[in-house]
Homo-oligomer: A and B are copies of this chain.
């Protein structure tokens, strides 16, 4: 059985991909692990260790071939395949996700948005139609949906998460400010905006306190 890769490594992989994409855009063909480590602000040995989880891609005395490493990390991240998303919740956040500029580029396609507000029915956001929750089951069964983004109030999100799992969806992108309970074969990624804002504030307070003491 394959070793389970730790969440800290998984967390860093998209960041590697992002930096390698930027290097490619700039036309950089190869990069030493020392240079990559400097622009990414992580140690060269951490980069090597992280990549070794997936087989390793370094080349002695040459560094990394940017295009190759970019594409290999893209494969690890599943970006060589198309992923279909639905968004539950047709509010501002649902609109923001549906109109996000870079998802498309990476093979993520928003196939539909679902809401209970009948006034939104039939509207289109960046090519994705807003449908009613009553249409959800039929839609998911007749479209290959991998991922559901949840942009609804926390009061309803666990119930809807349960239903989406019943429909066979294996990945939930949760924007409601509550931790979901899911089955073992289902993964969740949280974007807790309130938590994030509080963390920023706490860091700001701590930073101010340190700077005052240093004065």
Contacts and interface: CB of A to CB of B under 8 A. Distances in A.
Contacts of A203: 10, 171, 187, 189
A146 B189 contact: no
Given A99-B92, A185-B207, A203-B189, A198 B77 contact: yes
Q: In this complex, which of A4, A171, A188, A192 has the most chain B Cβ atoms within 10 angstroms of its Cβ?
A: A171
Contact of A187 (B95, B189, B194, B204): B204
Contact of A201 (B83, B92, B93): B83
Instruction: Sort chain A's interface into a size bin.
Output: 35 or more
A91, A108, A195, A210: most-surrounded residue (chain B CB, <10 A):
A195
Contacts of A103: 194, 197
Contacts of A185: 207-208, 211
A147 B18 contact: no
B13 A193 contact: no
A77 B201 CA distance: 7
Q: Is the interface of A mostly helix, strand, loop or mixed?
A: helix
A206 B4 contact: yes
Contact of A102 (B5, B188, B194, B204): B194
A191 B197 CA distance: 10
A200 interface: yes
Contacts of A191: 191, 193, 196
21 contacts: A5-B206, A10-B202, A13-B198, A14-B195, A14-B202, A15-B179, A18-B192, A18-B195, A76-B202, A77-B198, A78-B202, A97-B193, A106-B194, A146-B201, A171-B200, A185-B211, A186-B207, A187-B204, A189-B199, A189-B203, A191-B191
